[in-house]
Amino acid sequence: MIDGTRVCAIIPAAGSGTRMGRGDARSKTLIPLRAVPVILRTLGRFEESAAVDDVVVTLREADIGSVRDLIAGAGFRKVREVIPGGAERQDSVRLGFASKTAAAAGIIVVHDAVRPLVTAGLIERVIRAAHREGAAVAAVRPKDTVKIELSGALETPDRGRCWLAQTPQAFRRDLFAEGLERAGKEGFHGTDDVSLVERLGRVVSIVEGSYNNVKITTPGDLAIAELLLGRENADHGQS
Ligand code: C5P
């Protein structure tokens, strides 16, 4: 709850993980990260966030049974629904949004299952900004210079005006409903969630994210996440 408003997290986890080089055999959310599957690490961060009331997970059909077992084994109490995702990320988020659990919330927070190092602090800051402003996104400044390729020619935007969008991304429920509806009507497929609200001409608040909030996409990312998690655990006296 944030100021009496119910908060539902949607965790899209229905990707195929082909960039992990393991083909479709195993979803990247099930890969162990220091002995615990990535999906459980991510769900654990939402479980421990005081700002989040309910969690909906969207998965590939083939993974639903095993993830339900993992969630039960971990003793998580906030995961209300584990449902099938769609062909693209946005479809998976839309299906999560259509759930009964999301319908009962005033704020929706979306977070990639493959970002297991998100902190409870960042989750709460993004939710609070969305509660205040309508929509919010965690983002970091690019360390490299950004180039945009336009029909073969390059442009170099001012790095001081660029952000790299991460998740969590959060919304007042009505505003996200409007964004999803417009995107559906116009056949727009975004690679993130707040882009749907930007298209409505509405302001999205930026919350400083963290370079440690890595997205596990390739085997190299997994190695980095293991190192970062090891450091986190050392700081907290865990193994
Ligand atoms: O790599 P990508 O940006 O598509 O994945 C981000 C998140 O969206 C991952 O957690 C992935 O499991 C999820 N996803 C999904 N449904 C899809 C594709 C990706 O839930 N069809």
Give the start-to-end residue ranges of the domains of the chain: 7-235
- 63 Cα: distance to centroid of ligand 1 (angstroms): 14
Nearest to 104 by CA among 131, 84, 80: 80
- 214 Cα: distance to centroid of ligand 1 (angstroms): 14
Query: Measured from the CB, is residue 226 less than 6 Å from ligand 1?
Result: no
Cβ contacts of 11 within 8 Å, gap of 6 or more: 39, 42, 43, 46, 55, 56, 57, 58, 96, 110, 111, 112, 113
pLDDT number for residue 195: 98
pLDDT number for residue 25: 58
pLDDT number for residue 27: 80
- Give the count of alpha carbons within 13 A of 33, CB side only: 32
- 3 Cα: distance to centroid of ligand 1 (angstroms): 31
pLDDT number for residue 159: 94
pLDDT number for residue 92: 98
Q: Determine the Cα–Cα distance for residues 65 and 224; give it in Å rounded to an integer.
A: 29
Query: Measured from the CB, is residue 89 less than 6 Å from ligand 1?
Result: yes
Which fold does the domain 7-235 belong to in CATH? Spore Coat Polysaccharide Biosynthesis Protein SpsA; Chain A (3.90.550)
Query: Measured from the CB, is residue 153 less than 6 Å from ligand 1?
Result: no
Nearest to 54 by CA among 83, 76, 85: 76
pLDDT number for residue 18: 66
Residues of the chain with pLDDT under 50: 24
pLDDT number for residue 116: 98
What tokens does 78 get?
A: 């906030």
